[in-house]
Amino acid sequence: MGKFILVIGPSGSGKGTLIHHARPLFPELVYPKSCTTRAKRAGEKDGEHYYFLELEDFKARVARGEFLEWAEYGGNFYGTLSAEVIPALSEGKLALKELEVQGVRQIREKLPKEQLAVVFINAGSWEEMEARIRARAPMPEDELLKRKLRYEDEMSYMKEADFVIENHLGGVETAKKEFERIIRSLVS
């Protein structure tokens, strides 16, 4: 029986960094891509970074029940197609994906608990997170306030995770090792 490893945590906690680190170490895992209605950014290719869909197509797929999870963020829709995950799980493979908390909640309603492993990345206090977010790119204060409110909601989900990785400032190498250990424990 396969397992879907869901990596969650607040924006800027290091989810993407840890998954990027894991990809070459665990090439046998399935890394499902998300669908999105947002415009392609420079250098992005359809089917490589995301599946870029028109809004009408996305909504039609939602109506047909094709998504394992989906949500709207910043006026754009994002989702994970069941076809990207279910066949791999049926073949006994592990799939690994970064998700928002809302996505995990939807997936928990659709897949048995035995097929899920939720890994929460805890990057510390809001002050630490704010410093990371500001270091990545300038952000308007109203957007930062929205991120803070979302951070508080996302942190409340930590207690429901199967694994928690501490990734405080300066601790990314330790977090990478812990992430590897968790994946290895699930592979064997």
Q: 165: which strand partners? A: 121
Contact (CB, 8 A) for 121 and 6: no
Taking only the tens place, the pLDDT of each residue in 30-46 is: 999 999 999 999 999 99
pLDDT of residue 150: 87
Residue reference for tokens 């960094």 = 17
Spans of all domains in the chain? 3-31+93-187, 33-84
Spatial separation of the C-alpha atoms in residues 102 and 106, rounded to whole Å: 6
Instruction: Kindly state which CATH superfamily the domain 3-31+93-187 is placed in.
Output: P-loop containing nucleotide triphosphate hydrolases (3.40.50.300)
The CATH architecture assigned to 33-84 reads: 2-Layer Sandwich (3.30)
pLDDT > 70: percent of the chain: 100
Dihedral sign computed on CA atoms, order 11, 15, 21, 26? negative
Taking only the tens place, the pLDDT of each residue in 108-139 is: 999 999 999 999 999 889 998 888 788 877 88
**Is residue 60 very low, low, confident or very high in pLDDT (cuts 50, 70, 90)?**
very high
pLDDT of residue 98: 96
pTM value > 0.85: yes
Spatial separation of the C-alpha atoms in residues 63 and 163, rounded to whole Å: 33
Spatial separation of the C-alpha atoms in residues 11 and 180, rounded to whole Å: 21
Judged against a pLDDT cut of 90, whether residue 18 lies above it is answered with yes
pLDDT of residue 49: 87
* Strands across the sheet containing 35-36: 51-52, 35-36, 76-81, 67-73
Q: Output the six-digit token pair for 187.
A: 């592979």
Answer with the residue of higher pLDDT: 184 or 171.
184
